[in-house]
Each structure stands twice: as C-alpha cells, then as structure tokens.
Structure 1
Amino acid sequence: MTVDSQGTATAAPVDAPGRAAGKSKTPPPPSGPKEVLQPPRGRRSLPGGLLPYLLVAPALLSMAVLLLYPLIRNVVLSFQQVNKREMITRETVWIGFENYTKLLGDADFWGVVVRSVGFTAANVALIMLLGTLIGLLLNRLGKKMRLVLSLALMFAWAMPIVASVTVFRWLFDEQFGVVNWLMRTLGFAGYEQHNWFETGFSTLVIVMILLVWGSIPFVALNMYAGLTTVGTELYEAARMDGASGWRTFWSVVFPNLKPFFMITTFLEVIWIFKAFAQVYAMNLGGPDRGSETLPVYAYIEGLGQQHYGLAAAISILTILMLIAAMSFYFRLILKQEDES
C-alpha cells in the first residue's frame, strides 16, 4: 500500500502467483521411492479368496446342522434293528443290510414303488400340460384379466396344505359333498351318498386333483415370466411364414424355453414324489393302505408300526431314487451345454 500527496491510500497491484520476487516456488516431488500406504492398525484385509467362503459359511453350517446330520443319523439307523423293544431297552442292535434286503424282497414295497412312480408321472404330466396352457393364456390376456387370473393363481398357491385338504374332503364328502350333488344334478345315477374314498385308486385320484390344482400356479406364472423374454420379432417371423399356433409353440416358444421346461419338470418330480401331507391327511394312506406312497409308507412303518430301522431304510431308498432322477437331469443339462 502507498500514500499519494493527497493522503489517499492506494493498494499496490498483486503479483501473479509464482512471479513475486523472493517467494519460493512449489517444491518438486521427491525423487526417492514412493511411500506405500499401510492399512490402519487393528484392521487387516482378508485374503481375496477367503471372503466368499466366510459369507456362505453360515448357510452351509445351518444346512449341515438341519439336513446333513439328520441324514447321517438316518443312514446309521437304517443299519440297525430299532423296534418297540429296542426303544424301551435302549439297546443298539446292528443288523447290517437286513432292512434293505427285507424291503427289496417284499412285494408290498415294490407295489408302493410302482404306485409312487405312476402317481408322480401322472401328476407331473398334468401339471406341466395345464400350467403351460395357462401360462400361454396369461401371455395373451389383457392387463386387467391377466391381473385377475394371476391373483387367483396366487391365492390357490398360497393356501395352506391342511386347509386345502379339508376343502377337498368336504367337496367329496359322502353325504354333504358338492361333487355328489353335482353328479345327481347332471342326471347320473348311483351318487346318493357315494363314497369317493372307498378304494385306494379313487383316493389317489382326489389327491392328484388337489396336487395339480396347487402346483399349476408355479408352472403357469413361471411360464408367463419366460414368455416375456421371447422377442416379438420371432412371433412375427413365424406368422409371416404361415405357421400355426401349434407350430409356433414348437418352433419358437419351446426351443427358447427349453431350460425352463427341464428345470420345472425336475422340480415338480421332486415335489410330487416326496408329497406326504396331502396323501396322509386325505385318508391316512387308506383304505387298507391302498393309497400309500413311499413317504407315507415310511411314516406308517416307522411311527405306526414302530419299525424305525425299516422306515429309515425306506427313506434312504427314496432318496436314492431321487438321486437317480437328478443324475438323469444333470446329464441332460450337460448335454445341452455341450450342444450350445
């Protein structure tokens, strides 16, 4: 600042940065090796490959406690004779493969196996057929009707098993059932207090209707979700070529959704093959054990007849059958990957 002759103070011009005389310039960066920053003390980084295993460790531990340990105990039990006497005396009697040889030589066991396989095949075929058709219908409906149908499917899917079995038992009731009333209304004779649970076959048919009704929503909604991934240009190309609806499905929809059909069919096989609550709650596996499937057969032999070792062997054989089905499925998956 300077003062002129009039006594007025004026500010001196500010020098440009770095141009003022006598001022030091910005020091150059050090020429030595750069200093490596160390993480703060108390916090050490995990090895790169260890973190994913630590994240899945709780889930693996829970599965080991809830699934693996009971499975191992079940395998051990299948090699023992555990009946009412052994339960009272707490005596461990090892009998090796005697439970398995007894089952494999029992005609009743093979009858239940054939019944379970046929029951599973019929259910899965109907579920996949009707679920696919309803999924295609969802894809063609407008927004409002699609919403209504989707809500109806969700309500059917969300209904508890015991509640749905109770409803179906009322529908097919001998005296007050709606089905008997409907058959009489349509003019059919012989449905005055007709007993729909008189035979094991008719009981399984009712259970099959229940299982199909409860499983269709899963297939239909997933089918609709898969159809949304198929490009509209493929449908337009098929229409330009003059393809019918059936030809369009086999040439456009099925090739694009083949993985969906494979995984859904496999999941339905597992779901139906191990279905227990619906079969048992409908008629307790009766009459005369004529509607037993493998899970119900194992339950009745175990808790009903108190042959716990034999029941464990039945459950292990059931698991082996499912593993055989899984191996077939995984071979199909690997074959498809090799072709693609």
Structure 2
Amino acid sequence: MAVQLDDAAERTAPHHDRGGGAPPARGGRRAQPAVSGAPYLLLLPALLATAVFLGWPMVRNLVLSFQNLNMKELIQRLTDWRGLGNYQEILGSEQFWRVTLRTLVFTAVNVTLIMVLGALIGLLLARLGSKMRLTLSLALVLAWAMPHIAATTIFQWLFDSRYGVVNWVLDRLGWHAMAHYDWVGTQLSTFFVITVLIVWQSLPFVALNLYAATTTVPQELYEAARVDGAGAWKVFTSVTFPFLKPFFLATTFLEVIWVFKAFPQIFAINEGGPDRLTETLPIYAFTEGVGNLHFGMGAAISLLTIVVLLAMTAYYLRLTLRQEAREEKEDAL
C-alpha cells in the first residue's frame, strides 16, 4: 500500500520535482526570458524597404506639392515655391469637389455590389459538391489572376460599338437600338462598363475569402438551429453571419481601399472621358499632373486623395470598433 502511494505521489508531483529539476522561483513567479533584439532585426529589412520605396516618394511628393513645377521650371531646373498656393487653388476649385463626390459614390456602389455578389458566391461555394466547387474556384482564381490591362482590353472589345459581342447579343435578342451603341459615349454608360469590370475583378477575392470563413462555422450550430425549426434565412442571420462578420468587415475595408484608388481600369477604358465626366481622384491627379504638365498641382491632388482615403478609413474603423464594443457589452450582460 505504501509503495502504491509513493508511486501516485511521484506521478502527481510537478515536473521540476522529478529528475532533479530546478526549483521554482521565489514567490511562485517564473523567470522572465531576456528581451532579445532578434525580432526587431528581422523587421528591419521590411522597414527599410518601406521607407525607401514608400516613405521617400511620399516626402518628395509632399515637397513637390508646395512648388509651381511646370515644363519651364522642369527644363530650366528652377524651383518656384508656392507655399500653400496649390492647395488653396485646388480646395477652391469646384471641379475638385465634384470629382471627390463622384469618387465616393463610385466607391460606395462598387463595394456594395462586390460584397453582396461575393457573399452570395461564397455561400454557393460552401453548398456545392467537391467537383463543382473545384471548377468554380478555378474559374474565380483565373479571373483574379488576369492582369488589369489585359482584362480592360478584353472588356473594351466586348463593349465595342462596331464589333463588340455585347451589342451583337443585344441586337440578336431584339434590342436593335443597341446594335451600334457607343458604351463610352456617355457618363452613365462608361461608368456601367467600368463598374462591371471592377466588380468582375474583385468578386474572386471576396468569394474565396468568405467561403474560407464558412469552413470555420461549427456544424453543430447548424444542426441545433435546424432542430429548433429555423429556416434558411434564420440560420444565416443567427449562425452563419455572426461568424462571417469579422471576415466581412475586414474584406469590405480592403475593397474600399482597392476600389477608391482604382486607376488602370478607368484610365484605359476612356481616360476619364467623355469630357472628364468619369474622372475619379486618382485620374484627376494624373490628368492635372502629367496630362496638363502641372506637376506641383498633381502632387497636391494626390496628397489630398490620400487624406480623403485616410478619413474614410478612420471613419470605417471607428464604426467597426464601436460595433465590437457594443457586442462585447451585450455578451457581458
């Protein structure tokens, strides 16, 4: 009996008591490992690359925004400082505020379509069989991997007024007025083509991201909801969406940034035309800076574009943090 008790005591003894291990620190505290500089050394290359390739151009752009730099100053290597003159001229321009409002509306419409359609496709992937899921996933990845300019060129041919497939299909379906319709001839039709292109390019990322998020939902919750008699919509709102919400918010945040700064699609379709009616802030900065050779003005517009994007980001993050704090309070209650 005594031997059995000794064996039990040995099995339940702490690890440091066996094998001559070191005794615990006084006061029951474990010795803290020494702080090493290795993590900071590993981060140093990335920080240096960011400073060189992002920080330095930003500083140069900031300095340029305070100058009056046109072709004359560029050829003669003159430095004509304007101070805040570029910013005052831009902020006092009605064109800048029209373009800013147009950019915000354009971003809101595109992000809404992307998130709604992407969520539907992601939920569809979760319900398909393995073969159909693999086929659809490959199609999404191929669409996602296509370069922007290549995709834009394809869409230009699809919506071409003379040889476009879209006009040919609409004509064959009986809509003969669309046989030679110029899709880039008006503001709304041009934005329609650009929106279809950007939504098509963005759907794969959202769909695959949200499908991956659905795999984290425990199946027991679905079974419990069905036992309680919940329908498809109730299951989605009470089980699926709460788990997808963090992924949904993060993906929306990324899409807002991506759509807001979209440049190659808009510029390649019609260069902000017709009559500069489809210019967004990135196109506006490029047109003023490079197109009109007002490099200082273009630099100032690009910095104001970053400020607008940061303001949107801060507002979105503030709403997200408030929502999370509200949910934590509700869970605590």
* Structure 2 residue corresponding to 1:153, chosen from 134, 140, 145: 140
Q: Which moved more, 1:329-338 or 1:275-284?
A: 329-338
- Cα distance, 1:207 vs structure 2: 0.7
Quote the Cα distance in structure 2 between the aligned partners of 1:138 and 1:192. 36
Matched, 1:170 2:160: no
Quote the Cα distance in structure 2 between the aligned partners of 1:337 and 1:183. 48
- Give secondary structure in 1 for the equivalent of 2:278: coil
- Give secondary structure in 1 for the equivalent of 2:149: helix
Corresponding residue for residue 167 of structure 2: 180
Quote the Cα distance in structure 1 between the aligned partners of 2:305 and 2:35. 41
- Give secondary structure in 2 for the equivalent of 1:257: helix
Quote the Cα distance in structure 1 between the aligned partners of 2:181 and 2:323. 50
Structure 2 residue identity aligned to 1:138: L
* Structure 2 residue corresponding to 1:328, chosen from 306, 315, 322: 315
* Structure 2 residue corresponding to 1:304, chosen from 277, 288, 291: 291
Corresponding residue for residue 259 of structure 2: 272
Q: What pairs up with 1:22-171 in 2 under 5 angstroms?
A: 48-171=35-158
Corresponding residue for residue 6 of structure 1: none
Q: What pairs up with 1:114-263 in 2 under 5 angstroms?
A: 114-263=101-250
- Cα distance, 1:336 vs structure 2: 4.9
- Cα distance, 1:231 vs structure 2: 0.5
Quote the Cα distance in structure 1 between the aligned partners of 2:64 and 2:291. 17
Q: Is the 8 A contact 2:114 2:206 kept in 1?
A: yes
- Cα distance, 1:138 vs structure 2: 0.2
Question: Structure 2: 5+ residue runs without aligned partners?
Answer: 1-33, 329-333
Quote the Cα distance in structure 2 between the aligned partners of 1:74 and 1:114. 24
Quote the Cα distance in structure 2 between the aligned partners of 1:132 and 1:337. 21
Quote the Cα distance in structure 1 between the aligned partners of 2:103 and 2:80. 31
Corresponding residue for residue 289 of structure 1: 276
Q: Which has the larger radius of gyration?
A: 1
Deviations 1:36-67, CA, capped at 9 Å, x for gaps: xxxxxxxxxxx733111101000000000000
Structure 1 residue identity aligned to 2:199: V
Quote the Cα distance in structure 1 between the aligned partners of 2:92 and 2:46. 40
- Give secondary structure in 2 for the equivalent of 1:190: helix
Quote the Cα distance in structure 2 between the aligned partners of 1:330 and 1:219. 19
Deviations 1:84-111, CA, capped at 9 Å, x for gaps: 2211221111111111111111111111
Quote the Cα distance in structure 2 between the aligned partners of 1:183 and 1:175. 13
- Give secondary structure in 2 for the equivalent of 1:145: helix
Question: Structure 1: 5+ residue runs without aligned partners?
Answer: 1-46
- Give secondary structure in 2 for the equivalent of 1:92: coil
Q: Which moved more, 1:250-259 or 1:226-235?
A: 250-259
Identity of aligned residues (%): 57
Corresponding residue for residue 8 of structure 2: none
Q: Is the 8 A contact 1:201 1:290 kept in 2?
A: no
C-alpha RMSD of matched pairs (Å): 1.5
Deviations 1:201-236, CA, capped at 9 Å, x for gaps: 211110110000010000000000000000011111
Corresponding residue for residue 18 of structure 1: none
Structure 1 residue identity aligned to 2:231: S
> How many residues align structurally?
295
- Give secondary structure in 1 for the equivalent of 2:160: coil
Q: Is the 8 A contact 2:170 2:179 kept in 1?
A: no
Corresponding residue for residue 15 of structure 1: none
Corresponding residue for residue 41 of structure 1: none
